Structures are given as structure tokens and as C-alpha cells.
Structure 1
Amino acid sequence: MTHHTGPWTEVDLLAIDLEGSGPQDPAGEAILEIALVPIRHGAPDLDRAFSSLINPERKITRGLWTSPGITNAVLEHAPTFDEVAPKIIELVAGAWLVGHNVRVDWRLLNKALPAAEPVGLVDTLRLAKHRRPELKKGHGLQAWVERLDLTDTITQAAQSSQPHRALWDAVATATVLEAFMRDQSANDADFDALLTIAGLDLDGNPHPTKPADQQSLWDSF
């Protein structure tokens, strides 16, 4: 994976969240909703964000994992995946996808749309576990939103959405990343330092570990 010097805020980052029919779907997991939120100067850029429900062109069986408000009646009037694919390809091209457990979202998107070509992945779940390694659980996105007292900020930014829906969760991911990075030293706010901790290639492999003698303030949150 290529090294990138310079502040993380100057890199083309794109927060992603997908809502699907679940891996239990006997017909194969379908993407039911997608949100892509550019991160500009370290903050979510809602003016350039894209989010949409997606009509799977078949009935889905609702389960405990199904996101609130996503029903067959609602999906029937949504665009199909083929209709939104060009916009997804446009936004993803050349960007670093940022997600909470981003491998799950990327695996589903890559399977449905191989033509979408990001540069790599940044996983805020890996970042969270690095920042608070003593926490053996409670690293879910919602848990971190509450821990960092970000609920009102995210709800105000994503007014048309709600928790566990694609736009809200993508904005939450971008906002959590900003909160994690806000108080870092100049060295630790370098994008390559972020990749060392939270970066993945498109096969899901971690970024190469930084040299052992490189000092870091990441361990004190």
C-alpha cells in the first residue's frame, strides 16, 4: 500500500454505509440502501453526499437486522441498483472509503459493483479499538457516538435520516473519525499515521505496521 504524507484532512475520503437484506437472505444479500458522504477538510460534506434506497426488484423478508423504515412497500418505489450505479462509481473513484467495520460494506459493494474503484479502506472500528484497547466490547458505531456525545451533532447534520439507516450511519462514521483525529499531534494527524492504524487494502489486509521506533501519541485518548 502506498505511503501518503500530509494531513489526513487533505485526502479524498468518502464515508460509506450500506443497509442490506442480511446474509441470511436465501437469495443472497441485496443492497437496500446506500449512503456516500465525502469528508471535506475533516468534516462530512452533506452538500456533496449521495444517499438512496435501492429497489432489489424482489420481495425481501424482514428480520431483526432489517433497518427501520425499510419495507417492501417503500423499496418498490426506489431506483434500482443499475440506476444508481453510475453515481456510486463517480463518487467512489479515487477515494478512500471510510466505514465502521468497512470490510463488510466494501465486500457487499464490490460484489454488486466491481466497477467501483476506491484507492483503499479506512476502518474506524480498528481505530476505535486502537484508541481504547482496554475495552473488550462496546466498539460499535452507536456506542462510540454516545461515548463521544455526538448524537445531536449527527442528527442535526442528517435530518432526513435516523440511526441504523445509511445516511445517518455514514455521517456518524465521518463525525466519529473527526472526533478521533481532532486532538492529535501534527505527526499523528498525518494520513500515513492514520493508515498505519486503520488502513486496509481492497483485499482487507492491514496497512504495513509503522517502524517500532516511531513515537506516537495515539495510545493516550
Structure 2
Amino acid sequence: MDISPWPPLLVVDAEGNGATPPDLVEVAALPVRDGRPDTSTAGAWLINPPRPDTPFVARVHGLTSEILADSPTWQELADQVHSVLGNAWICGHNVHVDYRALKAHLPKWEPAGVIDTLRLARATYKGLPSYGLDTLINHIRPDLSAAPAHRHRATYDSYATAQILIAMADQYETWDQLIAVAVPPGMPGAPEPEKDATLW
């Protein structure tokens, strides 16, 4: 598929502190332009949460309270993040988690559409043992040599998800075909269901 006519698209990933509901500790927004991730204009923010990380999530992403202590609070960053996200399409792996977390923190924000690479992978690669990000990385073998940070950090995961999206897009001829399977029902950008013709 020719990616150049795609609408503005940001691959997003949000990491939380393990609280319920979660406070954000890292957000990444990586544009896809000209068929590749555009790290030169990516947004990446570390956030000092109002509640400390739980020990479990601190072990997963490595963002301890000590590391985040000097980072801005969400209140200081919210307008900047909202400005970068704008009304572009967003993409993520199991994206409803990131969408809901961002929407909870940015209630006035609404993307043009929401693409889920988990949903897309299930339609594109039948029969994989699972469809987690690690499984797809092992299956597709994208070039992650330029990925920042490490697995489970928002910057790395958004970069890996962008490469996986680009690889899967090659299996579809048009943008409309891709979003027909990649946008979860009820999410922004979901195609309208076809209505049965009524004979009068």
C-alpha cells in the first residue's frame, strides 16, 4: 500500500504508575510519515505522578519515583500533549488502553480515528500463538535498531508498533481496507455499518 496519502497519524503509547485509575508516567506520540516513523518530530514526555509507582510497574518499565522526581507534573504538560496529538489519527497496540488513559487525562481531546494493531494483526496473521507485541516483533522482525530506550518504555513501544503497522499495511491495498479491520467498533474512525437496502 502507498502510505503517502494517509491522513496524519501518530503511534501512541502511555505508561502508568499501576494505580487505579492510573496516573501517567510516560507518553509518546510518534508520527508516521512517508512510510516510516518520524522520530525528528515525535513527542515524548516523562511525568511526575501524584502517587508513586507500584513496585510491579516500576520493575516493568523501569521508571521509578526517583527517576521521575524532577519531571513535570501532568498539569504542566497537558496542554503541550494535547497540542501535539491534535485531531490526528492515533494507533497503538491494544489501543483502547492508551486511548482511555489519554482521554481520561485530556477530556476535550478527540482523535480523528483509532487504529488497533492488535486487532489488525489478528486479521492479518492467522494462526499465531498470540498477538502480543513481543510475538509480533519476533514474527515480523522489524528493524528496531533506531528504537529509543527499551521494551515497555513508551518511546520504544511506539516505535516498534509503528514498524509493525507499516509491515502489516503492505497486506492491504487501500487505507479504507485497513481501517475496516483495524478500528475497533465504537471507536472514533470506525466505518459506518452498511444498512440493508429497503424496498418500497
* Bucket of the pairwise TM-score, normalised by the shorter protein: 0.7 to 0.9
Distance in 1 (alpha carbons) for counterparts of 2:60 and 2:132: 16
Residue 158 (structure 1) shift: 2.2
Q: Tell me, yes or no, if the aligned pair for 1:20 and 1:66 is still in contact at 8 Å.
A: no
Distance in 2 (alpha carbons) for counterparts of 1:42 and 1:210: 31
Which 5+ residue runs of structure 1 have no aligned equivalent?
1-5, 212-221
Residue 43 (structure 1) shift: 1.1
Does 2:10 align with 1:21?
no
**1:59 maps to what in 2?**
52
Q: Tell me, yes or no, if the aligned pair for 2:115 and 2:183 is still in contact at 8 Å.
A: yes
Does 2:166 align with 1:178?
yes
Does 2:1 align with 1:9?
no
Does 2:41 align with 1:48?
yes
Q: 1:123 to 1:83 in 2, by over 3 A?
A: same
Residue 65 (structure 1) shift: 7.2
Q: Tell me, yes or no, if the aligned pair for 1:141 and 1:173 is still in contact at 8 Å.
A: yes
Q: Tell me, yes or no, if the aligned pair for 2:114 and 2:187 is still in contact at 8 Å.
A: no
Distance in 1 (alpha carbons) for counterparts of 2:194 and 2:130: 27
Q: 1:69 to 1:101 in 2, by over 3 A?
A: same
What amino acid does structure 2 have at the position aligned with 1:14?
L
Q: Tell me, yes or no, if the aligned pair for 2:28 and 2:45 is still in contact at 8 Å.
A: yes
**Structure 2 residue matching 1:63: 3-state secondary structure:** helix
Q: 1:142 to 1:201 in 2, by over 3 A?
A: same
**2:95 maps to what in 1?**
102
Distance in 1 (alpha carbons) for counterparts of 2:26 and 2:147: 15
Distance in 2 (alpha carbons) for counterparts of 1:54 and 1:32: 5
- Report the number of matched residues: 194
Distance in 2 (alpha carbons) for counterparts of 1:73 and 1:65: 11
Residue 103 (structure 1) shift: 0.6
What amino acid does structure 2 have at the position aligned with 1:196?
A
Residue 32 (structure 1) shift: 0.9
Correspondent of 2:134 among 106, 118, 142: 142
Residue 118 (structure 1) shift: 1.0
What amino acid does structure 2 have at the position aligned with 1:95?
A
**Structure 1 residue matching 2:56: 3-state secondary structure:** coil
Residue 36 (structure 1) shift: 0.3
Does 2:29 align with 1:33?
no
Distance in 2 (alpha carbons) for counterparts of 1:69 and 1:165: 8
Distance in 2 (alpha carbons) for counterparts of 1:102 and 1:125: 8
The normalised TM-score by structure 1 is: 0.79
**Structure 1 residue matching 2:173: 3-state secondary structure:** coil
**1:158 maps to what in 2?**
147
**Structure 2 residue matching 1:36: 3-state secondary structure:** strand
Distance in 2 (alpha carbons) for counterparts of 1:207 and 1:140: 25
Q: 1:117 to 1:40 in 2, by over 3 A?
A: same
Q: Tell me, yes or no, if the aligned pair for 1:122 and 1:195 is still in contact at 8 Å.
A: yes
Distance in 2 (alpha carbons) for counterparts of 1:87 and 1:192: 31
Q: Deviations over 1:129-161 (max 9, x none)?
A: 0012323x42011210111112xx22x2223x1
Distance in 1 (alpha carbons) for counterparts of 2:180 and 2:168: 15
The normalised TM-score by structure 2 is: 0.87
**1:93 maps to what in 2?**
86
